[in-house]
Amino acid sequence: MKKIKWLVASLFIFLTGCNLRVLDPKSETARDQSFLIQFSFALMMIVFAIVIILFVWFLSKYRENDQNKDYIPADEKGSPWLEITWTVIPFILLAILAVPTVSITFEQSAQVESTPANAVQIEVTGQQFSWTFSYQNGVETVNNLRLPVDRPVEFTLRSEDIIHSFWIPKLGGKKDLIPGKTRRMIVTPEETGTYQGKCAEFCGREHTKMRFTTTVMEESEYEQWLQEMKEKIE
């Protein structure tokens, strides 16, 4: 059984060429998160491997068979030493995991107070069931976000109606949009390209369709695009 599972697992990783969006980060934020995912996965695989080894070992060695079926095992209450071992070792593993967890979480959950000097400001408004992006020069787009590469972007997140959640998997984790509240988030895209964006908090009938595309472009192209859009509305 377990063998099949591992086979299936490795097949998946092979099939998808390891290109899972969350593990293919295009910003520092997403890279830190991806690191945490892989680091915690590795640590946890140690635990998993130990359990599976003991499990298979005990189950095959002590399984009932013709020789032992009338044997009554010796009474055994427990073993303080063993029990201390499997209390302390998990503590150590968790302590190791806690260090990067605390430092990255602390940094990424901080309320944004100061804006980097060269930051691009974009106001994001979520409503059932679309996204509106307004840029500094008054341009507005729907479900279509454009960003310059290598410059910090400060998103100001607001909701028109109910809770939504703003998520661009390759650029970083989500942030909820809460009616009546304002949230901020800063990311710096490091590579040009088109990335998927999604609403991640269930928000009603067409939550599924509340998606947007993010296009990260060269700074000059971006400025040009903004200019063209501006001329269009004027």
Smallest gap from Cβ 162 to Cu ion, in A, equals 8
Piece of 97-105, 137-145, 215-223, 225-233 that binds another protein (CB under 8 A): 97-105
Q: How far is CA 151 from CA 96, 119, 121, 176, 216, in A?
A: 33, 6, 11, 23, 10
Select 81 or 118, whichever has its Cβ closest to another protein: 81
Site stretch for Cu ion (CB under 5 A), options 23-31, 100-108, 146-154, 197-205:
197-205
In this structure, how many other beta carbons lie within 10 angstroms of the beta carbon of residue 83? 10
Site for another protein in 29-48 (CB under 8 A): 30, 32-34, 36-37, 40-41, 44-45, 47-48
Residue 181 to residue 126: CA distance in whole angstroms: 12
Q: How far is the CB of 190 from Cu ion (least distance, A)?
A: 27
Q: Which is nearer to Cu ion, 127 or 215 (CB)?
A: 127
Nearest distance, CB of residue 61 and another protein, angstroms: 8
Cα–Cα distance, 2 to 54 (Å, whole number): 14
The two tokens of residue 24 are 């293919």
Residue type, 8: V
Q: Is 3 helix (H, G, I), strand (E, B) or coil?
A: helix
Nearer to another protein, 23 or 149 (CB): 23
Residue 2's binding partner, choosing from another protein, Cu ion, none, with beta-carbon cut-off 5 to 8 A by kind?
another protein
By CB under 5 A, tell whether 210 contacts Cu ion.
Answer: yes
List the 211-217 sheet strands across, edge first.
Answer: 144-148, 211-217, 193-199, 164-168, 172-177
Cβ closest to another protein, residue 146 vs residue 175: 175
Sign of dihedral through CA atoms 106, 108, 113, 114? positive
Q: Is 177 in the site for Cu ion (CB under 5 A)?
A: no
Of 10, 98, 137, 227, the one binding another protein by CB under 8 A? 98
**Closer residue to another protein, CB minimum distance, 131 or 135:** 131
SS3 216: strand
Q: What tokens were used for 105? A: 């979480």
